[in-house]
Structure 1
Amino acid sequence: MIRQPTRPRAAFAWWNAALRDPRTPRHDGEPQAGYFKRRMVKGGPWVPLRIRLVQAIDPVTRELTEPEYHVAEQDGASFDPCPIWTHCRPISSQEYQDLLGRQAALPMMAATHAAVDLSQTPIQPGA
């Protein structure tokens, strides 16, 4: 049986639909590729997260050599996205880049396991 890799358009179809309509159905245990944000603790800062489809492709035949699977990437770590999938909010790739920049520039945004009280420490939008 020849296994063709999932094309990027198909891999990102759910994410694109969810950006247009946040009510797009999501199924527990079935993560989808895209850019997301989530909170590590209640009241904590938004943390950027990317879920990508891993594909082992034979360079000669361009066929899959093993099953495809999703992996989450956050703060330099890779892990199984299934346990956190339903807690992720889809965001644009630009918002993902902005969150990465804020995390690098603002210490309070990098402290992902601490709640942030913006009434005590306000930050400028886009900072």
Structure 2
Amino acid sequence: MIATLARQGPSFVVPMRRPTPMAVLHAWHRAALRGLQPVNDGTPRCGWYKRRLVRGGVFVPARIWMVQDICPETGELLSDEVLRCEVNGLAADPEEAWAWVSGHPVTEQEFRYLAARIAFAVRHEPHDPFAMPSRPIDINRTPVMF
């Protein structure tokens, strides 16, 4: 038996690196949307959120997602998984943004609505508070709706 192993040489079995399933990545976010108050241990979690850039300002969309480089043939991870974050369309650090967004989870539809609302206001309604999300809302300058 020992002679047989010596002739074959050492064989190293390297386990396949599997990507984290989307259901696991979004579990915290889904629980927060259902109102279950999941434990917030300070670790950024994948999902869609909203936050204010300034006190008294409008909400802007934010999202945290996992970048996974996956081999199309084997399904194996080719590199480490990396968390990415975007706040109001700009790249942000997930660790820093987490403190601001964790209390405001939203659905993907609301995330998309906020992004579209801001883009529309920037293009067509420059005096709308959504066109300037980095400024507080000034009731005296906001146009009347009717």
TM-score (normalised: structure 2): 0.74
Where does residue 103 of structure 1 map in the other structure?
118
Gaps of 5+ in 2: 1-14
Secondary structure, counterpart of 1:71 in structure 2: strand
Map Cα deviations across residues 46-85 of structure 1 (whole Å, 9 max, x no partner).
0101111110112222111222121012333223211110
Where does residue 58 of structure 2 map in the other structure?
45
| Greater share of residues in strand | 1
Contact 1:35 1:93 in 2 (8 A): yes
Does residue 60 of structure 1 match 2:81? no
Does residue 71 of structure 1 match 2:92? no
| Greater share of residues in helix | 2
Secondary structure, counterpart of 2:95 in structure 1: coil
Q: 1:62 to 1:51 in 2, by over 3 A?
A: same
CA distance in 1, matches of 2:36, 2:143: 28
Query: Which moves more between the two structures, 108-117 or 84-93?
Result: 108-117
After superposition, the CA RMSD in angstroms is 2.0
Post-superposition offset of 1:33:
0.9
Aligned residues: 123
**AA in 2 matched with 1:26:** N
Secondary structure, counterpart of 2:31 in structure 1: helix
Gaps of 5+ in 1: none
Aligned with residue 138 of structure 2, among 107, 117, 124? 117
Where does residue 97 of structure 2 map in the other structure?
84
Post-superposition offset of 1:26:
1.4
CA distance in 1, matches of 2:52, 2:144: 18
**AA in 1 matched with 2:114:** L
**Which structure 1 residue ranges, 4+ long, deviate > 4 Å from structure 2?**
none
Query: Which moves more between the two structures, 82-91 or 98-107?
Result: 98-107
Mark the structure with the bigger radius of gyration.
2
CA distance in 2, matches of 1:65, 1:98: 34
Secondary structure, counterpart of 2:66 in structure 1: strand
- The structure whose RCO (Cα within 8 Å, separation 6+) is larger is 1
Where does residue 18 of structure 2 map in the other structure?
4
